[in-house]
């Protein structure tokens, strides 16, 4: 009995302390200027000190709120349109952006920082979404596991040489899976026929990236040498290799790359519109842009940003990636994925 009481007592005390700390923080925050909330997806990562430098410049504190993957982020942003959980949304990509633009969740802001961003990234003429970073979804290959040469084109994947070699993700449940389906739509003469041939060539489909990369692909003990992943995956394989290596164990099939651009926008209904706009400017500043590659394994959109040496030496990124207009993606997503299911499963 007494032990239970002691336990209960200590829990109560602990809760009181937690509550007291919370109250203390709140008073401190009121003393500062404004706290902005940046709403983003779970893959968001940035170095310590980056938002502190924003605070030093502007007096604005940034809090990061993450909510699931990009699809979940978009759905949640639309659901809470006009009464947003934060002030700025970041991480919406070109495969989902039209859905957000069709809602009233983000408001226009044309940042002067766009002057340093190449026009090809500006996919929203209404300037509600500002391009911050980009990357490609591409077929990766495990160098040592290939019997012959690495594939050089999408059409190589249906040749006999790469029979039973490729793992892809289900476009209905996975963002990279969707991007690869879009790559085949943009990059092959007849995508339906391409997938029929891919199926005949014994392609494996998983529901998510993790199950593909760490399940069927060689990296996680699987047997397949080809997998749909990112253009930057070889750099991550190099940086997080154990034991350290000089060259990444994987390479990228540049002909298969679908361009993903990630955007940020001011959430309509924010109480701090002026400050939110400053944050958009900051996301395109060199301080933030230079920090993107090593944390998120994406590439900065600003011309003035510099890539870290690992990326300069080892990353392969194509100048002519595959892409499709966001509006076309949104309009056809359902039809394309349903047709894909019929072909791959039917």
β-strand partners of 133: 262, 300
Q: Which is nearer to other proteins, 23 or 79 (CB)?
A: 79
Q: Is there binding between residue 207 and other proteins (CB under 8 A)?
A: yes
> Cα(119)–Cα(99) distance, rounded to whole angstroms?
22
Q: Which is nearer to other proteins, 45 or 146 (CB)?
A: 45
Q: Which is nearer to other proteins, 5 or 320 (CB)?
A: 5
Which H or E run contains 226?
Answer: strand 226-230
Residues 6 or more apart whose Cβ sits within 8 Å of residue 249: 142, 143, 144, 219, 234, 237, 241
> Cα(179)–Cα(162) distance, rounded to whole angstroms?
21
What does residue 260 show for φ and ψ, rounded to 5 degrees? Answer: -115, 125
Residues in 217-236 at the binding interface with other proteins, rule: CB under 8 A = 219-221, 229, 233, 236
Q: How far is the CB of 330 from other proteins (least distance, A)?
A: 9
In the chain, DSSP finds a helix count (H) and a strand count (E) of 12, 10
Q: Which is nearer to other proteins, 161 or 330 (CB)?
A: 330
Q: Which is nearer to other proteins, 58 or 80 (CB)?
A: 80
77-103 CB burial, b ≥16 within 10 A, e <16: beebbeebebbbbbbbbbbbbbbbbee
Q: Is there binding between residue 297 and other proteins (CB under 8 A)?
A: yes
**Number of residues counted as binding other proteins (CB under 8 A):** 68
Q: How far is the CB of 112 from other proteins (least distance, A)?
A: 28
Q: Is there binding between residue 80 and other proteins (CB under 8 A)?
A: yes
Question: Could you say which of 150, 155, 294, 324 contacts other proteins (CB under 8 A)?
Answer: 294
Q: Which is nearer to other proteins, 153 or 334 (CB)?
A: 334
Residue span binding other proteins (CB under 8 A) among the ranges 106-114, 147-155, 169-177, 277-285? 169-177
> Cα(248)–Cα(86) distance, rounded to whole angstroms?
39
* C-alpha atoms less than 13 angstroms from C-alpha of 124 in its C-beta half-sphere: 30
Contact status, residue 168 vs residue 236, Cβ threshold 8 Å: no
> Cα(91)–Cα(69) distance, rounded to whole angstroms?
9
Residues in 20-59 at the binding interface with other proteins, rule: CB under 8 A = 37, 39, 42-45, 47-48
Residues that bind other proteins (CB under 8 A): 1, 3-4, 11, 15, 37, 39, 42-45, 47-48, 63-69, 71-72, 74-76, 78-80, 83, 85-86, 99, 170, 172-173, 178, 204-211, 213-215, 219-221, 229, 233, 236-237, 239-243, 250, 294-295, 297, 333-334, 341, 344-345
């Amino acid at each position: 009995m007494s032990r239970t009481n002691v336990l209960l007592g200590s829990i109560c005390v602990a809760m009181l302390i937690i509550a007291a700390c919370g109250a203390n923080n709140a008073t401190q925050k009121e003393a500062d200027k404004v706290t902005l909330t940046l709403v983003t997806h779970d893959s968001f990562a940035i170095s310590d000190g980056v938002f502190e430098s924003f605070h030093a410049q502007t007096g604005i504190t940034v809090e990061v709120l993450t909510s699931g993957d990009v699809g979940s982020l978009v759905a949640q942003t639309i659901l809470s349109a006009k009464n947003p959980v934060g002030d700025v949304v970041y991480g919406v990509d070109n495969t989902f952006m039209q859905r957000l633009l069709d809602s009233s969740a983000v408001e226009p802001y044309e940042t002067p920082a766009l002057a340093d961003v190449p026009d090809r990234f500006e996919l929203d003429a209404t300037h509600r979404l500002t391009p911050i970073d980009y990357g490609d979804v591409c077929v990766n290959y495990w160098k040592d596991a290939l019997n012959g040469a690495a594939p050089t084109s999408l059409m190589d994947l249906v040749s006999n040489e790469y029979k039973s070699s490729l793992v892809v993700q289900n476009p209905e449940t996975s963002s990279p899976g969707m991007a690869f389906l879009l790559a085949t739509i943009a990059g092959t003469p007849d995508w339906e026929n391409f997938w029929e041939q891919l199926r005949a060539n014994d392609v494996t489909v998983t529901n998510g990236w993790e199950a593909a990369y760490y399940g069927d692909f060689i990296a996680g003990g699987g047997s397949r040498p080809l997998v749909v992943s990112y253009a930057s995956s070889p750099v991550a394989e190099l940086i997080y290799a154990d034991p350290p290596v000089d060259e990444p164990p994987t390479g990228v099939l540049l002909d298969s790359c679908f361009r993903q651009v990630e955007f940020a926008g001011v959430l309509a209904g924010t109480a701090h519109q002026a400050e939110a706009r400053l944050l958009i400017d900051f996301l395109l500043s060199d301080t933030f842009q230079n920090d993107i590659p090593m944390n998120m394994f994406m590439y900065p959109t600003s011309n003035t940003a510099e890539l870290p040496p690992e990326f300069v030496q080892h990353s392969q990124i194509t100048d002519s990636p595959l892409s499709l207009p966001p509006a076309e993606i949104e309009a056809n997503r359902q039809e394309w994925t349903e047709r894909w299911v019929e072909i791959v499963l039917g």
